[in-house]
Each structure stands twice: as structure tokens, then as C-alpha cells.
Amino acid sequence: MTQLFRNIRLAAGVAGTHLSDDPFLLLLQLSRRLPARLVGPLAAGVTRLAPGDSAAIAVLLASLVQGDAAEVERRLLLASAAAGEPARRLADVALAAQLPDLADDFLGRAEGAPGLEGARARRFWYDGAVSDAVAVLARDGRARRGQRARLAAELSVLNGAAPVLDRVDYTAVPGRVLHLLTNSLPHTSSGYAQRSHSILAAQQAAGWDVQAVTRLGYPVQVGKILAKPLDVVDGVRYRRLLPAQLAATMDARLQQQAAELLDVVLEFRPSMLHTTTHFVNALVVRAVAQAVGIPWVYEVRGQLADTWASTRGPAAKQSERYRLFQQREAEVMRNADLVVTLGGAMKANIVAAGIPGGKVLIAPNAVGGDFLAEPLDTASARRALGLNEAGQYIGTVSSLVAYEGLDCLIEAFVLLAPRLPDLKLLIVGDGVSRPALEVQARQSGYGDRIIFTGRVPRDQAVRYHQALDVFVVPRKDLAVTQSVTPLKPVEALACARPVVASKLPALAEIVEDGVTGRLATADDPVALSEAVRELLSNPELAERMGAAGRSRVLRERTWAANVAALAAELGKLGVTI
């Protein structure tokens, strides 16, 4: 069977599972995989032609795709008298729109509807009540067996299930390191993928023999049907685990992934394994490392339980899912031979979970490649990008997700725009929040001065940093943003651009207030606009802060320095590099 046919079969299996478990969410995810230039106009056409009181699934999906949450809620409220199966379908829409109270109202009127127990299970799962979700499906004697098995397996993994492999004879090759990643270039260009690639490239430049393997089924799972078993990016090899079929449940898939990863390890013969959050990656790597008897490193790049909770509200931190997730994270950190993380705030959280501080290495987000070269001036960078060279630009390069606070950035820009007629806002990147942000921009009255570039090629990112007068990181004040340090402001400082950021512990590790930029109260567009205005009105101050930021980054935050620090720690574990 050719790889393409295997990929098609794999994609069909993944789609079939999602279609069974949550068909509306599948439709929403598929719409986000398609080109925005096609989906946006189509969705706008659907909502424009639909009657104002329509709550048809296609109309609601179109409104969600456009990011118009208020319109989705309005139409759902107009359908508040729905009952039976229509109410059950609308409950799923409300849940996808993160309107759980409305979902509860519809579920209360859906008694007897086909698929009701599946919808109730999704509602419990949304809140993190994972045992309740499984229990609801256990009472359903109809066609929910597949969904029940899948959720029961996820609960089992949260409760301690893990892959197990038999011990094998093994001889490692010194200097070889294998990384297990969730995703990677060239199929994903997130901060996670960029950091992974920078680490691999820096290790390779230091003489290490490195190879990366991505999670089972990736990137076909995210719609890349033409994916190959191997990608080489800048000389870095990315192996793909692409079986024709995934095991039906999470626990079985982890066992399948561990077996396939072991085959790669026996072929490549690394002397150390390295993986990243979250804990399922660590479970697989732990099993393989124990089977061959080599050390393994767990790199904590985020707090995914807190990221999930940030979309649910304060009660989420008291949920069963949050508690079990945190327990498994602590378990794999205890088991790893070395824990690596991004900054002091994250290390403090890890130590608070009971991990000895001496076992935790800080390897901060850093720079290399084009960011080490002397930066272009703003006019030259804009010219290279085809932007108007005149005027002033503020903005960001980021994933467009809710916790980044880009709605606050647009509000701050609206406060500045009347006083600064030549000011433009540049938002570089893509993500689930982009449609809603574009709606906000259009409704602001200054939409013609707010530029959304979408995702840009990796080699252009440095130019977008350099095109800005002030780089802004307006993150919301949440548990995840208080401790997780992002990559993009480090790159902005390397480009000699001052950074205005939310006053959060993780960002204060990157931006020294009054030295390399300004810190402003989080979630406060007035404070954000005042900090930005101070730098725009004083170019000499901005230039001085930018120069100080570049000097500090080149001194303290390079990927080469991180590789040297890791090599020293691996030496203590007996790993020869």
C-alpha cells in the first residue's frame, strides 16, 4: 500500500471518530483547515442570505467561522423553544461556542432525542467532570459504545494507565539524541514548532547527531494528506509515524506509539531521549527509555491544564480533569532523569509540585539564525515586506488565541488612533481568535489601519519584527500566562525593538520595565495605550530600550548557550555528547 493510500485511510479513520463523537465540532475544525480566503467569504454569504431568525446549523457554523460570538448567541436565543432532536443539536453548537449555560437549557428540552447521552457526556467533559461523562454513556444502551470506550480510555490514562514495553538488548551510539515532538515544521509553524526546530538545529550545529519523531498520526491528523514519512528542514530530520490505522482508544494508541517509537530507537540508537509537554508524550518516552535503558529528558514548555482552564472559568481548577492532569504531569516529572523548562516562574511551579530544584534546568526561549544578524531599520524592513514605509507601526507576531489578549491590543489602538493619524496596527499570525478579532477591527472604525497578515513564511517573521516601532505582548492575566514565557518578545528584543508587555511574572523575566521596554497592567487597554504612546512619542527612548534589549538577548538568550547548558547536565547523567 502506498503512503498516500495509508494516509487517506488514516485520515478517514480520524474523521470517522470525530463524526461519531462530535459532528459539529468536526465541521468547525474542518472549516478552520480550509483557506481563510475561501471560507470567510462563503461564511459571510451564508449569514447574509439567511433569515434573521434562522438557527439552522449551517448558519450557526457560518457565524462561528466568522468569529461573531454575539451573532451565534443571538440566533441560539431565538431558538430557545426548540425541543427534542433540534434542541440536542443546538446544545452541541452552544458548547462549541463556549456557551455552556445555553447548552444546559437546550439539553433540558432534548429528552428522548437520539444521541442525547452523547451530548450530555460532551457537556460533562467540557467541565472536566470526566467520570460523570463516562457514567452517562454507560447508561446508554444504544449506539454510543465507541464514544464510551474512547472517553473511558482517556479517563484510564488520566488515572494512571501507561504503555509498557519489554526490556531489550541495546547499545547506544554516543552523541545521538532522539526527540519526540507533538508537531513540527514544515506542517505547523507555532511557537512550539519554532522552538523545537531551533533546539534541534543548534544541537546539530554543536556536533550532535539529532533526529525528531512526531506523534502518532501527525501530520495527517491535521489534514496533511500528502505527508511523507520523512521531512528535512534546514538539515534537521523529522520522522513521521504514519500507520494506516490508529488504535481506537487513547491507551491503545499510546501503546501503539511506544512500539513504533521503539522501532525507530533500535534503528537510530540514541544515547538519550528528549520529549516535551504534555504528559502523554512523556509516558511514551518513559516506556521506550526503560525498555532500552537510557536516560530521558522532559521539557515543560507550558501548563496545559491551566491553558484548558483559561477557557472554562475559575471553577475548572476544581475539576476532576484538572486535578488528574496535574497529578500525571507531576508523576512524569518525578520519573524523568532531567526536567527542562523556560523560566523562573515555571521552575517555581515545578518545584511546588514536589520536583527537586536541582533536577530542573532553565533553558529560556532564545534566538539564533537571522535574529543574530544586525537588524534592518524600520523603513528597509517595511520596504522588503511591501508595507508603506511612512508612519508608525505597532503590533505583534503571535498565535491568535484568546489568552494572548489581542482584543485588548485593538482597544488600545483605538484609543491611540485619533491622536496619531499615521499609526497602524500590524497583527501577524493566525489562530482560532482571528475571525473575532477581524470583526472587532471592522467595528472599531479604524479597520483600514489594522492589518492582519495571516500566517507568514518563517523567513519573513524577522522582517515583521523589524517593521514595527513597538512590539506589544498584551497577554491576559491568567495562571498560564503568569508563568509561561513566550518566544516572540525575545525575538523582538533581538531585533532591537522595544517591547510593551503585560505586567506578569513570566513577561517580567523577558522585559525589564524602563530598560528594555515597558510593563503595563494586564487587561487594561488604557494602561497599554499609555505605555505604547510613551515610546512612540520618544523615539530616542525607544531606540535606547531596543538596543538594550538586543544586547541582553545576545548575551543571555541564544540557542547555542542553551545547548551548552544541556550538555553539561547530560554529562552529569553519564550521557556522552
Helix 525-536 vs helix 406-416: crossing angle, to nearest 10: 60
Q: Which of 43-47, 105-109, 506-510 has the lowest mean pLDDT?
A: 43-47
Per-residue pLDDT band at 225 (split at 50, 70, 90) = very high
Asked if residue 383 and residue 353 are part of one domain, the reply reads: no
The 3-class secondary structure across 360-402, one letter per residue, is EEECCCCECHHHHCCCCCHHHHHHHHCCCCCCEEEEEECCCCH
Task: Name the pTM for this structure.
Answer: 0.94
Phi-psi region of 228 (alpha: psi -120 to 50; beta: other; left: phi over 0): beta
In a domain, 128, yes or no: no
For residue 407, the enclosing domain spans 373-557
Asked if residue 79 and residue 189 are part of one domain, the reply reads: no
Q: Over 70: is that where the pLDDT of 55 sits? A: yes
Would you list the DSSP string of 179-213?
Answer: EEES--TTT--SHHHHHHHHHHHHHHHTT-EEEEE
Asked if residue 345 and residue 249 are part of one domain, the reply reads: yes
449, amino acid identity = R
In this predicted model, what pLDDT tens digit does every residue of 477-531 receive, in sequence order? 999 999 999 999 999 999 999 999 999 999 999 999 999 999 999 999 999 999 9
Phi-psi region of 356 (alpha: psi -120 to 50; beta: other; left: phi over 0): beta
Among residues 301, 292, 309, the alpha carbon closest in space to that of 329 is found at: 301
- Cβ–Cβ < 8 Å for 204, 212: no
Asked if residue 498 and residue 410 are part of one domain, the reply reads: yes
Q: Which of 70-79, 140-149, 560-569 has the lowest mean pLDDT?
A: 140-149
Q: Stretch 462-467: mean pLDDT, rounded?
A: 97
Q: Over 60: is that where the pLDDT of 72 sits? A: yes
In a domain, 60, yes or no: yes
Asked if residue 417 and residue 328 are part of one domain, the reply reads: no
Asked if residue 195 and residue 337 are part of one domain, the reply reads: yes
Per-residue pLDDT band at 19 (split at 50, 70, 90) = confident
Give the end of a domain, one of 88, 114, 140: 114
Question: Would you state the pLDDT for residue 146?
Answer: 86
In a domain, 301, yes or no: yes
Residue 389: how many CB atoms within 10 A of its CB? 12
- Per DSSP, the three-state class of 301 is coil
Q: What residues contact 91, with CB distance under 8 A and at least 6 apart?
A: 102, 103, 104, 106, 107, 110, 119, 123
Asked if residue 543 and residue 485 are part of one domain, the reply reads: yes
Percent over 90 (pLDDT), the chain: 86
Among residues 222, 220, 238, the alpha carbon closest in space to that of 230 is found at: 238
Among residues 473, 397, 400, 474, the alpha carbon closest in space to that of 432 is found at: 400
- Per DSSP, the three-state class of 446 is coil
In a domain, 562, yes or no: no
Asked if residue 382 and residue 340 are part of one domain, the reply reads: no
In this predicted model, what pLDDT tens digit does every residue of 167-213 receive, in sequence order? 999 999 999 999 999 999 999 988 899 999 999 999 999 999 999 99
Q: What is the C-alpha to C-alpha distance for residues 148 and 137, in angstroms, rounded to an integer?
A: 6
Question: Would you state the pLDDT for residue 44?
Answer: 87
**How many domains is the chain built from?**
3
In a domain, 566, yes or no: no
In a domain, 573, yes or no: no
Would you list the DSSP string of 478-502?
Answer: -HHHHHPPPSHHHHHHHTT--EEEE
Q: Over 60: is that where the pLDDT of 156 sits? A: yes
Mean pLDDT of the chain: 94
- Cα 204 to the chain's mean position, in Å? 25
Per-residue pLDDT band at 142 (split at 50, 70, 90) = low
Give the end of a domain, one of 308, 330, 362: 362
Q: Over 80: is that where the pLDDT of 140 sits? A: no
Asked if residue 391 and residue 431 are part of one domain, the reply reads: yes
Asked if residue 336 and residue 200 are part of one domain, the reply reads: yes
Give the end of a domain, one of 309, 329, 362: 362
**Do strands 296-300 and 392-397 pair parallel, antiparallel, or not at all (unpaired)?**
unpaired
In this predicted model, what pLDDT tens digit does every residue of 377-397 receive, in sequence order? 999 999 999 999 999 999 999
In this predicted model, what pLDDT tens digit does every residue of 239-252 receive, in sequence order? 999 999 999 999 99
Phi-psi region of 313 (alpha: psi -120 to 50; beta: other; left: phi over 0): left
Question: How big is the chain by its Cα radius of gyration, in Å?
Answer: 24
- Per DSSP, the three-state class of 511 is coil
Among residues 90, 131, 147, 79, the alpha carbon closest in space to that of 113 is found at: 90
Strands of the 176-181 sheet, one edge to the other: 230-233, 236-239, 209-214, 176-181, 272-276, 296-300, 338-341, 360-362
Asked if residue 345 and residue 202 are part of one domain, the reply reads: yes
Asked if residue 440 and residue 511 are part of one domain, the reply reads: yes
In a domain, 574, yes or no: no
Q: What CATH number does residue 353 fall under?
A: 3.40.50.2000
Residue 500, beta-bridge partner list: 472, 518
